[in-house]
Structure 1
Amino acid sequence: MAILIDAAGLQRRLDAGERTVLLDVRWVLGRTDGHSEYVAGHIPGAVFVDLPSELADHAQPSLGRHPLPSVARFQEAARRWGINDGDTVVAYDNSGSMAAARVWWMLRNAGVASVYLLDGGLAAWRAAGNRVEAGEVTPDVGQVTLGDGAMATIGEGEAAQWHGERLLLDARAGERYRGEVEPIDPRAGHIPGAVSAPTTANVTADGTFLPAAELRERFEELGVGASSEVAVYCGSGVTAAHQIAALEIAGFEAALFPGSFSQWSNNDANPVAVGDRPFEAEGVAGPSGTSSAAGSSVKA
């Protein structure tokens, strides 16, 4: 199933009058200007999607900062965006698809078959010489019927055991994985056993995804193989969706841990590892009962 569409491909669809619902998902952690940027200029016909209120439920310590909304709430939002059954949806942002991937994953999970990420987002659209428009777009209400469960997920208990023959990827920045800084969650570090795989390494300087072969090489170097069981988490389940898209481009499948580290770190019973290694420092037993190399420690 194709994941990406480039600016030229999107323009061809629009020129041909092919039914296309455009979703503008401009959101960056710590900023609240996504909507104002959208109003100032967006792809003609694009509808603004507010990630915190439309792609997530209210934050709860037991579920994380951006819990997935109920099917009913998500369907209401999707209809508000003008989506009907059978529509093709193209989502974009202005941050390398880091936010747009959230709605891509959610629509795929809900059973929407034709949903794409605009590779390179708004910057690529502008670079191709295509026009933008200002103001708000309010489409006719759609009639799409959404489901749930089309994409694999894991829960908190499974994340605790996702190592050994399984591979758990941490999509956050390396300094957050190592526990050097934590801007928002209650504890710093990573889920023991997880491998650092920053999402930013999936894209080029202009925000487009690396070619499939390069992504495949990247993930193979991280330990992903043809028969690997892979799961991904980030801070709150947003950029982890980007990692899943990149893995699919590379030819791999992966499950999402929706609650991610924001859920994990709020449960005091969960251990948190710090340092650049998946498991504990030398002298502390790892999952197999043997000691792992120095470079990390675990904080209860």
Structure 2
Amino acid sequence: MTHLISADELAHEIEDVVVLDVRWALTTANTPAGRADYDAGHVPGAFFVDLDAELAAPPGEGGRHPLPDPTVVQALLRRAGITEHTRVVVYDGKESYAAARAWWVLRWVGVPDVRVLDGGYAAWLAAGLPVSTDEPADRHGDVVVRPGALPTLDADGAAALARDGLLLDARAPERYAGETEPIDPVAGHVPGAVNSPTTAWVTDDGTFRRDLAEHWAAVTEGVDLGDGRVGVYCGSGVTAAHEMLALAELGIDTVLYPGSWSEWIRDPARPIALGHQPG
């Protein structure tokens, strides 16, 4: 089973699916720019999703992007006309980092059939497919969300998995090593976590690399996989979902630490490792 869909495949199926546009970026004024991108043009019939407001709760004790309020997600899904049996396709601008967060959140609340447009809106444009500036009307779906359909890790669980299984850190190597930290107030990584930058799982055109199995073998070469369980975290639980999507394509089950590094460092008693080794 693949969790991805190509632009041509989506064009063929577009009348039979609900499409969600999850383009997400920050302007220099630190305000979401995804809506402006959507208004300028999107996949016909796509509904805009605000990642910060609809796929995450406000920043706080749970980190920069805590799990969203299920009632907020339900309102989003109903606005898009989603029912118990709806097939959903999500996309973002290119690399699918934000789209993967939507893919994970929707499955977490019990929506079973969610796919990601590989290469995002850039792939749709590259295929020469039509775009729209019209926003679809509210479709009044009746889906009932059931949060908890996917497992998650808390900080203690992440620490245990780093010790007994495999905990992946999806951030850039320099952030993992603690050499720089442009976003969070403390640098470093969870002791025992293995660095696997999510940017390494995609190609220059934003699509997932075709040699996923070979890349996974390189990531885990010489690594003690412990009991075989795999968890993933990043800075705030967004790009970690992208790595989970890549591993899902390989049939590898993973579990997300939603709070990620931005939650881990809120407790000064939690240990911090530095350098390019798990520690």
Q: Same fold (TM over 0.5)?
A: yes
The equivalent residue for 2:194 is 195
Counterpart-to-counterpart distance in 2, 1:68 and 1:147: 13
Deviation digits for residues 160-204 of structure 1 (CA, Å, limit 9, x no counterpart):
222344111000111111112112212011111111110001111
TM-score for the superposition, normalised by structure 2: 0.93
The equivalent residue for 2:107 is 108
- Is residue 2:245 matched to residue 1:245? yes
The equivalent residue for 2:20 is 23
Name the CA shift for 1:96/1:226 in 2 (closer, same or farther; >3 Å).
Answer: farther
Q: How does 1:44-123 map to 2 (within 5 A)?
A: 44-60=44-60, 62-123=61-122
Q: Which has the larger radius of gyration?
A: 1
The equivalent residue for 2:257 is 257
Deviation digits for residues 122-141 of structure 1 (CA, Å, limit 9, x no counterpart):
11111111011124333312
The equivalent residue for 2:275 is 275
Unaligned runs of 5+ in 2: none
Deviation at 1:152, TM superposition (A): 2.1
Deviation at 1:97, TM superposition (A): 0.4
State whether residues 165 and 226 of structure 2, in contact with CA within 8 Å, keep that contact through their aligned partners in structure 1: no
The equivalent residue for 2:145 is 146
Counterpart-to-counterpart distance in 2, 1:248 and 1:218: 17
State whether residues 177 and 274 of structure 1, in contact with CA within 8 Å, keep that contact through their aligned partners in structure 2: yes
State whether residues 236 and 258 of structure 1, in contact with CA within 8 Å, keep that contact through their aligned partners in structure 2: yes
Name the CA shift for 1:224/1:114 in 2 (closer, same or farther; >3 Å).
Answer: farther
Name the CA shift for 1:219/1:101 in 2 (closer, same or farther; >3 Å).
Answer: same
State whether residues 215 and 247 of structure 1, in contact with CA within 8 Å, keep that contact through their aligned partners in structure 2: no
Please, which moves more after superposition, 231-240 or 216-225? 216-225
SS of the aligned residue for 1:161 comes to: helix
Q: Which amino acid aligns with 2:105?
A: M
Name the CA shift for 1:216/1:184 in 2 (closer, same or farther; >3 Å).
Answer: closer
Deviation digits for residues 232-251 of structure 1 (CA, Å, limit 9, x no counterpart):
00011111111111111122
State whether residues 119 and 208 of structure 1, in contact with CA within 8 Å, keep that contact through their aligned partners in structure 2: yes
Q: Which amino acid aligns with 2:231?
A: A
Counterpart-to-counterpart distance in 2, 1:65 and 1:160: 19
Counterpart-to-counterpart distance in 2, 1:4 and 1:226: 29
State whether residues 47 and 81 of structure 1, in contact with CA within 8 Å, keep that contact through their aligned partners in structure 2: yes
Deviation at 1:95, TM superposition (A): 3.4
Name the CA shift for 1:140/1:224 in 2 (closer, same or farther; >3 Å).
Answer: farther
Counterpart-to-counterpart distance in 1, 2:62 and 2:108: 19
Deviation at 1:156, TM superposition (A): 0.8
Unaligned runs of 5+ in 1: 280-300
Counterpart-to-counterpart distance in 2, 1:33 and 1:26: 8
The equivalent residue for 1:10 is 10
Name the CA shift for 1:220/1:143 in 2 (closer, same or farther; >3 Å).
Answer: same
Name the CA shift for 1:177/1:183 in 2 (closer, same or farther; >3 Å).
Answer: same
SS of the aligned residue for 1:163 comes to: helix
State whether residues 164 and 227 of structure 2, in contact with CA within 8 Å, keep that contact through their aligned partners in structure 1: no
Counterpart-to-counterpart distance in 1, 2:277 and 2:225: 20
Name the CA shift for 1:274/1:151 in 2 (closer, same or farther; >3 Å).
Answer: same
Name the CA shift for 1:188/1:226 in 2 (closer, same or farther; >3 Å).
Answer: closer
Q: Which amino acid aligns with 2:48?
A: F
TM-score for the superposition, normalised by structure 1: 0.86
State whether residues 85 and 145 of structure 1, in contact with CA within 8 Å, keep that contact through their aligned partners in structure 2: yes
Counterpart-to-counterpart distance in 1, 2:11 and 2:244: 26
Higher RCO (C-alpha 8 Å, min separation 6): 2
Name the CA shift for 1:42/1:192 in 2 (closer, same or farther; >3 Å).
Answer: same
* Root-mean-square deviation over aligned CA pairs: 1.8
SS of the aligned residue for 2:97 comes to: coil
Deviation digits for residues 18-76 of structure 1 (CA, Å, limit 9, x no counterpart):
2x11000011366621110110011001111000000011111x211111123222212
Please, which moves more after superposition, 213-222 or 114-123? 213-222
- Is residue 2:39 matched to residue 1:39? yes
